[in-house]
Amino acid sequence: MKKSYLKFVSGAALAMMFLLASCHSACEVTKVEGRMRPMDSTYDVNPDTEAMALLAPYKAKIDSMMYRVVGTAEMSMDKGAPESLLSNLVADVLRGAAAQVLGKPADMGLVNMGGLRNVLTEGAVTCGNIYEILPFENSLCVVTLKGVYLNHLFENIAARGGEGVSGVQLQITKDGKLLRAAVAGKPVVDDKLYTVATIDYLADGNDGMTALIQGEKRDCSPGATLRGLFMDYVERQTAAGKKITSRMEGRITVED
């Protein structure tokens, strides 16, 4: 499928939502029909002009929002295990966002690679770019864990070959075993409490992060979506005259 058509479909789908919402009080659905149609480049050849005309004003409204530039990326950033520029950045944002719950950053930030769905490319960053990278309605969750379970969390991460982390340093093996771990450069103390800023999806134990279920306390903010937090971060950096950047720091290293 051509990229241009994909963009139109995305905008058209959102436009249809606006259309249905605006018709809610004045319209009544009397019949719904459908059929299977191939979704390929043939639609670019003979587009449905009537449908395009109907959706055009709504699509224009969505486009004006999605193409709004909110910042500038200093370099292109992609995801990848065991560590990557994009996963480091998003984990840092989560860790810092915990201040709205704790009054300070969490001890650790954690995001799953699977939740990052696109590349942040060098140059202008639009709202649409951020929606493409973080399309899910995942919310900030701060989980308080005893050190013994934090080590189990590190084992969960090692078993997956690495995830996006902030504030910790892990050494793992190629076959997914944890060798060493530290929080802010210090060994983990079994009976000490640590805070992990993550998303509700992982706090529920998904993507193999079962140790998070053992939390002593869990503070989730339904209105604080990861996408919204990231958008706020980009806008704050921009307001301060800074570009969006990241760096590789050896947060997770793989040893033979």
> Is pLDDT above 60 for 24?
no
133 φ/ψ angles, rounded to the nearest 5 degrees:
-75, -40
Amino acid identity of residue 84, one-letter, is S
The owner of tokens 């005893």 is 146
Q: What is the pLDDT of residue 137?
A: 92
Kindly report the three-state secondary structure assignment for every residue of 177-237.
CEEEEEECCECCCCCCEEEEEEEHHHHCCHHHCHHHHHCCEEEEEEEEEHHHHHHHHHHHH
**Report field, pTM of the whole predicted structure over 0.95:** no
Q: What fold is seen in the domain 70-255?
A: 5'-nucleotidase;  domain 2 (3.90.780)
Write out pLDDT tens, residues 71-118: 999 999 999 999 999 999 999 999 999 999 999 999 999 999 999 999
Tens of pLDDT along 232-243?
A: 999 999 999 999
Higher pLDDT, 237 or 56: 237
Domain boundaries, the chain: 3-66, 70-255
